[in-house]
Amino acid sequence: MIQELKDINAEYMEAGITNELVIESADTDVAGQIQQLQNLMSKNVDVILVNPGDAQGLNATLEEAVKKGILVLSIDQELDAEGVLNVGHNQKEWAMTSAKWLAEKLKAGNIVEIEGFPGHPANEYRMSGVDEVLAEYPDIEVLARETGKWDEATGQQVMSNFLAGFPGQIDGVWTQDGMAIGALQAVMAANPEEWPIMVGEGRCQYLKLWEEVKKTQPDFESIGVANAPGVNATALRIAVAMKQGKEVDTSKLSGQTGNSFIIPSPVTVTGENFQEWLEFCKDKPDQYLLDGIMTEEE
């Protein structure tokens, strides 16, 4: 996310549009982020792009920045702060895409769910979307839901516990990015007689594991919906356009708070296009997230 921000800003600097990109990226609890924002305000920046770690804790500081005439865009997390615009995916719809895929594949059966942090807005939006989808499939039963803390190792442990607690009963797995790799590794280690259908993630490491599984389980099915870090660079494009005097068509803003630029997920990997994206990942590091950045024209 940071590297793409640097890359897009380099284009603008070369064109003489921007002067400096100031990055604060440490101490990412609320107190740390407030200090970062104060640092940026003291440098008299024109724009602040912030990826907030809390849905409420930064609002007063961000509103202070807006009052100082700074354009503030919240990335990847919708805030309801006066004067702040949000840029990111619709987290509810993002989760509904994979939940609907899983439900349609199963029609009936038992599933387990590994969620992020309960109470975190993105997680709550996602899980509400999953619940909404599953409400339309009364023959699908959720055996259990546990938090994987958006952590690969924790996701693996939770999935191992599910497999031990519900032997031979799990037909499907719904999880989110950051945990799907661990969940799949747990299933690979257990190698159950009947493999569940699994929701994965748009990350190269997951696709490589998926390929490995297909060698022994050719009927294995999965999906990966990209949660693209490129929304940050897209937000920079939006900010530059606004600072150049282009007006926002507010009728196009939407999202949970009604003040958001909703960016479509650029990639959904299924069995149909799996080989194409696996080839794309061939020379990428395992942690590479499938991505997309809007052009200026878009």
Q: What is the pLDDT of residues 23-77, one digit of tens each?
A: 998 767 899 999 999 999 999 999 999 998 888 899 999 999 999 999 999 998 8
178, 116 Cβ separation under 8 angstroms: yes
Domain 91-225 in the same topology as domain 2-89+228-264: yes
For the chain, the straight-line distance linking the first and the last C-alpha, in angstroms and rounded, comes to 19
For the chain, the domains span 2-89+228-264, 91-225
Q: Please give the full DSSP string across 257-283, using - where no structure is assigned.
A: SS-EEEPPPS-EE-TTTHHHHHHHGGG
Q: Class of the 2-89+228-264 domain?
A: alpha beta
For 189, residues 6+ apart whose C-beta sits below 8 A from its C-beta are 160
Would you state the pLDDT for residue 121?
Answer: 75
Position 124 pLDDT exceeds 90: no
Would you state the pLDDT for residue 190?
Answer: 98
Q: Is the pTM of this model over 0.95?
A: no
What share of the chain has pLDDT > 90, as a percent? 87
Would you state the pLDDT for residue 257?
Answer: 84
Q: Please choose, from the candidates 85, 148, 160, the residue with its C-alpha nearest in 3D space to the C-alpha of residue 115.
A: 148
Higher pLDDT, residue 1 or 113 = 113
For 91-225, CATH gives: 3.40.50.2300
